[in-house]
């Protein structure tokens, strides 16, 4: 595998879809194509625009290959999403959008069937955030269509099927709050047998398995070499984690930022996970359980900063720290460490838009710190994805954790990890800027004020 150099990474996020070209020699991203990824809100239920994504993927592969020969393809996607395909590989039902509330209507019936947290490491989540609840709702609501399913696939492996014709599953997506996987036994959960789904579960393959070459028709469509290998792929937060699993010494934490901010602790302190606060057990690309916590930080950031400045001066920062203007959780309710809290601004009546950006950045860092505390985070924290470029976020995160924060230089956070599936070399992963905890007591005073206000809002 070490002879492969230029890896095209298909990265389907909840908000944006991307195809990036990663150079494994330098572990850098070259060309990057991006499109907005909005679900179709039409019958039979809100679902992903699979054909628009497919056209984007093929066009991107063709364009990237014209500029630089693609040696292999890897895949990473958001979690809580899966596909049901028939014997010909066509979708038996549209790929459901996990923000659809349909599964909640069968919550009582589903709750009677789902395994306990002790078996799966999966908390009970609303909407379709438990993939098992999605499939249960589809089975109940559309029994004849569901019966056509010959394979149940996690989302990265659905795209792998379309590229290679090979059906597979993989543990990082199966282990992402699906209710379908037992991370300690490395086996399907009891729910799979309870609902008689084992027969349609595609075989579990390692993330780095070559599923096969690209299909001949797709090679002709894109101009890729017909022998271009396609790797099984993995869940996006675990793609962000993988380079550090291969190159860093525990303890450390990785914060993967996108639509979701997912915090993962490797070799951290032993803590009891709080199911009511959106903690869970993920499964990393090596197959090992990883304590994790998350909140919809990227979505919150987009909502809070839409059409507003995303920068501020040192004087704005100092003013907000001194004044202790606060944003309390949660802008996006229903998930995260404060799922029932309604967002509230404290002493924000006459602040400027630049100052508002500072407070938003502080809020996101303090929410991330809360997540890290809930999972026993220890050691340096590596921030992957868009928030790595927000120096206010990384500085407040360093202050609140009292540990170093390292901002990844990778543009998308997940692409390099997914590309590493195509090599057996141990990466010399180049980190970005390191932020040490600030010594100015104004930062600690602000953190104390935020924590006290959140505690008082219970």
- With 60 as the cut, is the pLDDT of residue 293 above it? yes
**Both tokens assigned to 317:** 């920062």
Please report the sign of the dihedral spanned by the C-alpha atoms of residue 326, residue 332, residue 338, residue 344. positive
DSSP SS3 for 449: helix
- With 90 as the cut, is the pLDDT of residue 2 above it? no
- Among the listed ranges 27-31, 102-106, 295-299, which one has the minimum average pLDDT value? 27-31
* Mean pLDDT of the residues in the chain: 94
Measure the CA dihedral 384/273/371/275, to 10°. Answer: 110
Residue 30 pLDDT: 86
Which residues, at least 6 apart from 237, have a Cβ–Cβ distance to it below 8 Å?
A: 79, 176, 256, 260, 262, 264, 282, 292, 414
Residue 157 pLDDT: 98
Q: Distance between CA 54 and CA 320 in Å, rounded? A: 46
Mean pLDDT of 170-198: 96
CATH fold label, 6-232: Nucleotidyltransferase; domain 5 (3.30.420)
Segment 203-253, tens digit of pLDDT: 999 999 999 999 999 999 999 999 999 999 999 989 988 988 988 899 999
DSSP SS3 for 302: helix
Q: Distance between CA 135 and CA 127 in Å, rounded? A: 12
Segment 311-323, tens digit of pLDDT: 999 999 999 999 9
172 and 238 in contact (C-beta within 8 Å)? yes
User: What letter does residue 431 receive in the DSSP assignment?
Assistant: P
Whether 247-456 and 6-232 are alike in CATH topology: the answer is: yes
Instruction: At 90, give phi and psi (nearest 5°).
Output: -85, 155
Residue 314 pLDDT: 96
Superfamily in which the 247-456 domain is placed by CATH: ATPase, nucleotide binding domain (3.30.420.40)
Q: Distance between CA 276 and CA 47 in Å, rounded? A: 28
| Predicted model pTM | 0.86
User: What's the pLDDT band for 275 if we cut at 50, 70, 90?
Assistant: confident
Distance in Å from the first CA to the final CA of the chain: 53
- With 80 as the cut, is the pLDDT of residue 6 above it? yes
Measure the CA dihedral 71/77/83/86, to 10°. Answer: 0
- With 70 as the cut, is the pLDDT of residue 430 above it? no
Segment 361-419, tens digit of pLDDT: 999 999 999 999 999 999 999 998 899 999 999 999 999 999 999 998 765 568 999 99
Count other Cβ atoms within 10 Å, centred on residue 165: 16
Which residue is it, tokens 């907000």? 320
DSSP SS3 for 371: helix
User: What's the pLDDT band for 140 if we cut at 50, 70, 90?
Assistant: very high
**Quick one: what percent of the chain has pLDDT higher than 70?**
97
**Both tokens assigned to 161:** 């099927």
Segment 87-100, tens digit of pLDDT: 999 999 999 999 99
Domain map (residue ranges) of the chain: 6-232, 247-456
Residue 28 pLDDT: 86
């Amino acid at each position: 595998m070490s002879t492969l150099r230029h890896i095209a990474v298909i990265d389907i996020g909840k908000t944006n879809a991307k195809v990036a070209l990663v150079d494994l020699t330098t572990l850098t991203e070259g060309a990057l194509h991006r499109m907005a990824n909005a679900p179709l809100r039409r019958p039979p239920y809100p679902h992903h625009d699979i054909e628009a994504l497919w056209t984007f993927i093929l066009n991107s592969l063709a364009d990237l290959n014209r500029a630089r020969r693609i040696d292999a393809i890897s895949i990473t996607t958001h979690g809580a999403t899966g596909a049901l395909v028939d014997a010909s590989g066509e979708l038996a039902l549209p790929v459901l959008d996990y923000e659809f509330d349909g599964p909640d209507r069968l919550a009582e019936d589903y709750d009677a069937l789902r395994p306990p947290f002790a078996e799966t490491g999966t908390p009970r989540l609303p909407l379709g955030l438990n993939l098992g609840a999605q499939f249960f709702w589809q089975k109940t609501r559309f029994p004849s269509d569901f019966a056509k399913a010959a394979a149940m696939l996690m989302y990265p492996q659905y795209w792998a099927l379309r590229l290679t014709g090979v059906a597979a599953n993989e543990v990082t997506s199966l282990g992402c709050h699906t209710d379908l996987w037992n991370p300690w036994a490395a086996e399907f959960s009891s729910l799979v047998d309870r609902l008689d789904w084992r027969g349609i579960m595609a075989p579990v393959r390692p993330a780095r398995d070559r599923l096969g070459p690209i299909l001949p028709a797709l090679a002709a469509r894109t101009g890729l070499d017909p022998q271009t290998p396609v790797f099984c792929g993995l869940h996006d937060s675990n793609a962000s984690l993988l380079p550090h699993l291969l190159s860093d010494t525990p303890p450390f934490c990785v914060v993967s930022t996108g639509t979701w901010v997912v915090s993962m602790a490797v070799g951290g302190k032993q803590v009891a996970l709080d199911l009511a606060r959106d903690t869970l057990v993920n499964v990393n690309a090596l197959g090992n359980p990883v304590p994790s916590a998350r909140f919809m930080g990227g979505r919150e950031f987009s909502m809070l900063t839409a059409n507003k400045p995303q920068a501020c001066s040192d004087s704005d920062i100092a003013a907000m720290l001194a004044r202790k203007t606060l944003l309390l959780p949660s802008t996006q309710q229903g998930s995260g460490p404060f799922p029932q809290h309604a967002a509230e601004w404290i002493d924000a009546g006459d602040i400027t838009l630049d100052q508002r950006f500072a407070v938003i950045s502080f809020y996101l860092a303090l929410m991330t710190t809360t997540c890290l505390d809930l999972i026993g985070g220890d050691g340096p924290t590596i921030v992957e994805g868009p928030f790595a470029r927000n120096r206010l976020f990384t500085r407040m995160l360093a202050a609140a954790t009292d540990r170093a924060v390292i901002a990844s230089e990778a543009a998308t956070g997940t692409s390099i990890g997914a590309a590493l599936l195509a090599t057996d070399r141990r990466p010399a992963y180049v980190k970005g800027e390191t932020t040490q905890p600030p010594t100015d007591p104004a930062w600690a005073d602000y953190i104390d004020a935020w924590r006290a206000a959140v505690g008082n809002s219970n």
